[in-house]
Structure 1
Amino acid sequence: MPGLLLSHACEQQVHLVIGASALSLSRVAKSVECGASKVILLAPRDGPQAWESEVERRIADYSGRFVWIEREFEDADLTTLGREEVDRVVDMVFVATPNVSDIGTRISNLCHRLRIPVNVADAPKLSSFTLLSTHIDGPLQIGVTTSGKGCRLASRIRREIISALPKDIAKACEKVGDLKQSIQDGDENQLQHDIEARYHEVGQHDDDAVQSHKFNELVLEDLVQEELAKNRGALKRQRMRWLSQVVEYYPFSELATLSVDQLSSQYRSNSLALAEKAKLMQVSTIVSKTGRIALVGAGPGSAGLLTTAALTAITSADLVLADKLVPAGVLDLIPRHVETYIAKKFPGNAEAAQQELLAMGLSALQQGKYVVRLKQGDPYIFGRGAEEYIFFRHHGYTPSVIPGITSALSGPLFAAISPTHREVADQILICTGTGRKGAAPAIPEFVESRTTVFLMALHRLSDVIGWLAAAGWRMDLPCAIVERASCPDQRVIRTTLEHVVAAFEELGSRPPGILVTGKSCGVIEQIPEGQKWVVDEGFHAQI
């Protein structure tokens, strides 16, 4: 059953650590770190030399707060080594001996009778408390426990939590504490001043000349204290309401940098108005006055292959600028209220269409919008992702980049082609079939054990095959055209370089598509003897 989680104050306490082990030194360090005034280590001098040297080093480092008693534990230690004010009972006990079975049970029973908190390493049933996997950053402490089920798992969970926290979270804690103390002190001083001034005025107009001045002061003091007591509760409730709104609505970055003096002053003058301002700050932070942009990879085609980061981006955008090849299944996930524009990139118009997209994105950013540039596949694999990144950064908007699954690697997989295969293919090369402004690309040399994937090659397939032949490529090399990979109308044409142009011309184009070449194309699926090509229709994987 889960235990009650507490943050135990250790100041002025005496902690007893038993055992000669690395864990015992860890317990000593934790006690000193948490403020124990004295930590006593009970362990004979028969441990490893390195351990003994470390103990002596820590005795010097901890400036009198750490003592090593070089002997075994005795029952009387629990009631003779502690503080005088609690009859020399120790405040907390840690058992960290190499073998805890016998001594752990004995010490645990003694501590339970004396009601001393005890922790026995690796023995939850003998312990009255367990130690959490903790993170300490200034005033912030975060602890995770799995109730003895697995300390390493608790450590991993703690790391996951810490990685999700804002970097200024500790500063925010400090500032909120300072703000709370500041307005509390201000409330008390102002309240006392106002009440004393009011009663002082009453006293000045008292017509009873018989009253002595001293007696009148005593009466007024009682009245002041009585009214103070009545008003403190109301003031505290008002203060906590205001503080809770600041904590809930201010971004962490604002909490870490806020001016305590200024906010204290604003609280005293108009706390309600400040709360409304805090709400507006939250809204403005979400909208982002400066605008944001993300370059997002849409994957090869299937909406099921979008990353969760990509899905989050397109569903929270103000404007989506999409490639014309992004499939309808992905575009259907964009909410109706999100403005969407599909690029008009056609042969002879690519540069003009690209400039139009850049101009639209920049205009939206200047209006404070969140812009998503949705790109087919991965933004940086034969797209203009890097060019767009540089363009927007030059204009003051540094994009975030969300990768996508590239068809260069997923397309072969969905076509039953393993790009690498033992004793067949030990390397993969991704190339383009189209150079800048339609020029011929650099053709790689032929390597027998390589799988080469050509993107943007099908619209000039005849030229590409001619260039490969001129570069010495074998024309009987297996290859495949994979079109609309992962979409319901996926098509795979399996053939060889010798017949691929004829097959493609006969069957027609179904863009977008890739050309995969290499012996790996014939490992899982083969072309029946006597046939020049085979066509596989449809996408059969479950996504």
Structure 2
Amino acid sequence: MPSKFPEIQSGGSLIVAWQIKGKEVLVIGGGEVAAGRIVNLLNADAKVTVVCPRGGLNEEVAYRVDQKQVKHVDRVFLPLDLEPEKKVAMVLSAIDDPEASTRIWKYCQTMKVPANIADVPPECDFYFGSVHRDGPLQIMVSTNGNGPRMAAALRRQIGDMLPKGTGDSIKKVGQLRRMLRKAAPGKSTRDISRRMSWMSEVCDKWSAEEFNAMDEEDMDKLVQFYERGMVPSFEEIRLGYRGDVVWEFDGSFGWM
């Protein structure tokens, strides 16, 4: 008999959007992998310290150091780099020395600092997936360490399938949510649930292209329907509030 509850599929990872903004992150190494890690961290507004001899920095990492986008410690990793007062929230190791990498991993475990040792899945608290980025939109594809190259191919396919301007559409949704919270600022569980339900209905009814075309006037008119518990279509908002066409609202939205 089929269960009415989701079936458990073990062996996966907990996919989360880790809020690392303003937190200290240690990147050990200065090659191509480290460069990619640094980009991801800076995009997430982390405070990055690179631990690597200057001679081991590739062109990109050296650029980040010279531009003061990251701090640089000109030597190999030492345990003092994880002293509690430094408040390191995460360690990413990307060096070509398996023995040193394992020592770093074990020390991170001792200090209870989450770590990722590049290309050594058993020595990782988390994996990096392949990410599609379009403004506020981030889509990560993970193979849980089985096939990073395949994850990259799938990520490209997914990105190509998305409507043009999807990131801008999501920005508009965020702006609409802020306008709604300002118009209906209630903080009770019921208020929050009602706002979420109404926004969900809007997102289900409107397409990404319509959100992209929406302007502040459209948002203002749409929010006015919240108290009535109504969600007009994009066309109805435009017909009702544009000068070239007059729409007289009778409460039915055309359904009698």
- TM-score normalised by L of structure 2: 0.80
User: Match of 1:13?
Assistant: 23
CA distance in 2, matches of 1:236, 1:92: 33
Conserved 8 A contact 2:222-2:232: no
CA distance in 2, matches of 1:111, 1:270: 50
Letter of the 1:19 counterpart: G
User: Match of 1:238?
Assistant: 194
CA distance in 1, matches of 2:73, 2:226: 61
Within a 5 Å distance, the mapping from 1:40-439 to structure 2 comes to: 40-47=49-56, 51-61=57-67, 64-79=68-83, 87-99=85-97, 101-188=98-185, 232-269=188-225, 274-277=230-233
Conserved 8 A contact 1:91-1:117: yes
Within a 5 Å distance, the mapping from 1:475-494 to structure 2 comes to: none
Q: Are residues 1:31 and 2:37 paired?
A: no
SS in 1 for 2:79: coil
**CA positional deviation for 1:278:** 5.7
Distance 1:185 1:114, change over 3 A: same
SS in 1 for 2:86: coil
Name which structure has the greater RCO, CA cutoff 8 Å, separation 6+: 2
Distance 1:171 1:52, change over 3 A: closer
**CA positional deviation for 1:251:** 1.5
Q: Which protein is bigger by CA-based radius of gyration?
A: 1
SS in 2 for 1:16: strand
**CA positional deviation for 1:280:** 8.3
**CA positional deviation for 1:250:** 0.8
CA distance in 2, matches of 1:150, 1:121: 14
Letter of the 2:103 counterpart: R
Conserved 8 A contact 2:130-2:141: yes
SS in 1 for 2:33: helix
Distance 1:241 1:28, change over 3 A: closer
Letter of the 2:88 counterpart: V
User: Match of 1:347?
Assistant: none
CA distance in 2, matches of 1:161, 1:259: 28
Distance 1:143 1:267, change over 3 A: same
CA distance in 1, matches of 2:114, 2:78: 17
Letter of the 2:25 counterpart: H
Q: Deviations over 1:170-217 (max 9, x none)?
A: 1111011100110111112xxxxxxxxxxxxxxxxxxxxxxxxxxxxx
In the alignment of these two chains, the number of paired residues is 227
Conserved 8 A contact 1:12-1:35: yes
Conserved 8 A contact 1:249-1:279: no
Q: Name structure 2 gaps, 5 residues minimum.
A: 1-10, 238-256
Letter of the 1:152 counterpart: R
Conserved 8 A contact 2:130-2:151: yes
Distance 1:150 1:257, change over 3 A: same
SS in 2 for 1:91: strand
User: Match of 1:481?
Assistant: none
Q: Deviations over 1:104-160 (max 9, x none)?
A: 211111111222110001101001011111111111111010000011000011111
